[in-house]
Structure 1
């Protein structure tokens, strides 16, 4: 019966790979090495070296084999974006991530750069506008008071032992270079919407 026949999933096309000088396929390692000057230029005014970034990227590619299936252009683009921001991809620091996503339009995997919250913090600190930034989770059993207005104030006394209860929300406090501070609070509901 035609209606009960199982459909076999369409095979994903093999991503187009850059050609090496000898006409063969470039490996990812060769692709990154071949573009080392572009990556180095992107790293100007950042704390990372090209060697360090390339080593970290190769480690991430070994840890996430699906990245090998991504288009080389998208992988290189994500690495360069990481370089421009001076952030190391991967879970070690949590600054940013190289994530393989299936793109229906191209019919294959593409690597996308994803900024992590620790990367956002590193960029904020590096900007020079922020002296310090701290983020915390508020639990139901914690003592928490937040006041907005001409003088924003946060009092958070976490319960140090026993059950802290469920999560109520999160907040971040940034101490600004010129003095003063910026406070942002989000409830669990607001976080889930994001």
Structure 2
């Protein structure tokens, strides 16, 4: 194993506590997902280089696997780790979105397909699946004219959503990823996988009519913000409104309050900060910092481990403050961007 891969392996396994703290699906196993992540990065020298230069992005991507509840299993093709814009990003496929919709109970099953000019496609009403007749072995089915997704609900209804290719391209043209491609020639999925992106686009429109689930909402919000697939104006609004979820903050504060000693508290602070800091939620950060500081003071007053606690308590009390300036600067930059817009 190369030195770089060993470093990244250590970073990934260091995420275990954060991973388990935010999990929404107990079938998503840390050991398996860590193995998949290491396998992906070890097979791509460029991705490994990006990971080494931006280790926090690896931590964020692996944590998001658990927070969204999706697997990197290459056999399933639901999600991937990809190098993009000098960071490692979690990318969710259209199959991943359908899998989340099914696993979270929103729909029984779903299917998304492209429609070509040589195909025969017709809708059969609101409560019946569409008819799509085509020759899948034809060498030339013409150009893509549209895309659709059909989903079956638990009540037995069929919900079909369609988009013309012009509607899809209109969404593409207003996405931040496509704009970056036009301005900087920076490759993006709209360039490398246009068919897959068309299917994702129609699913993201259709899901608004499906029964709501938090996991699917979170996945699509993630794709529209961190994945840069959403409209630029919506992406900025969502990024500004995003913060640390209350259940995540509560979980880390609870860990801090029950830390048995200063070493354990320092570990809670480090792991919790890795989850909370990327949200740029100053309120959550200050709440967590205060909880850690209070617990540090309580532990320091215990006589049993006075020497150890004194050293670790100083580290804990010093570490939170050292990040305040960075977080404040991030907020100021965000506000400046919003005012400029």
- SS of the residue 2:84 aligns to: strand
Q: In structure 2, what is the equivalent of residue 110 of structure 1?
A: 87
Residue 151 and residue 43 in structure 1: after superposition, are their counterparts in 2 closer, same or farther (change >3 A)? closer
Q: In structure 1, what is the equivalent of residue 35 of structure 2?
A: 55
Q: C-alpha displacement at 1:66, in angstroms?
A: 2.9
TM-score by length of 2: 0.43
Tell me, yes or no, if the aligned pair for 1:131 and 1:174 is still in contact at 8 Å. Answer: yes
Q: In structure 2, what is the equivalent of residue 106 of structure 1?
A: none
1:167-182 correspondence runs (5 A): 167-182=144-159
Residue 90 and residue 63 in structure 1: after superposition, are their counterparts in 2 closer, same or farther (change >3 A)? farther
2:131 & 2:46 partners in 1: Cα distance? 45
> How many residue pairs align between the two structures?
162
Q: C-alpha displacement at 1:143, in angstroms?
A: 1.7
Q: C-alpha displacement at 1:57, in angstroms?
A: 0.1
User: Does 1:41 pair with 2:21?
Assistant: yes
For structure 1, which runs of at least 5 residues remain unmatched after alignment? 1-25, 103-108
Superimposed CA distance per residue, residues 120-178 of structure 1 (whole angstroms, 9 cap, x where no aligned partner):
01100111120110112222222211255x55652211235544322221111000112
1:62 & 1:166 partners in 2: Cα distance? 37
Q: In structure 2, what is the equivalent of residue 6 of structure 1?
A: none
Superimposed CA distance per residue, residues 13-33 of structure 1 (whole angstroms, 9 cap, x where no aligned partner):
xxxxxxxxxxxxx81111111
Q: In structure 1, what is the equivalent of residue 79 of structure 2?
A: 96
Structure 1, 169-178 or 134-143: larger mean CA deviation = 134-143
- SS of the residue 1:141 aligns to: coil
Q: C-alpha displacement at 1:50, in angstroms?
A: 1.0
1:86 & 1:34 partners in 2: Cα distance? 19
Residue 57 and residue 159 in structure 1: after superposition, are their counterparts in 2 closer, same or farther (change >3 A)? same
Q: 2:108 aligns with which of 92, 116, 131?
A: 131
Higher helix share: 2
For structure 2, which runs of at least 5 residues remain unmatched after alignment? 1-5, 173-341
User: Does 1:142 pair with 2:125?
Assistant: no
Q: In structure 2, what is the equivalent of residue 77 of structure 1?
A: 60
Q: In structure 2, what is the equivalent of residue 184 of structure 1?
A: 161
1:57 & 1:178 partners in 2: Cα distance? 38
Q: CA RMSD in A?
A: 2.3
Superimposed CA distance per residue, residues 84-104 of structure 1 (whole angstroms, 9 cap, x where no aligned partner):
2232237543222222233xx
Higher strand share: 1
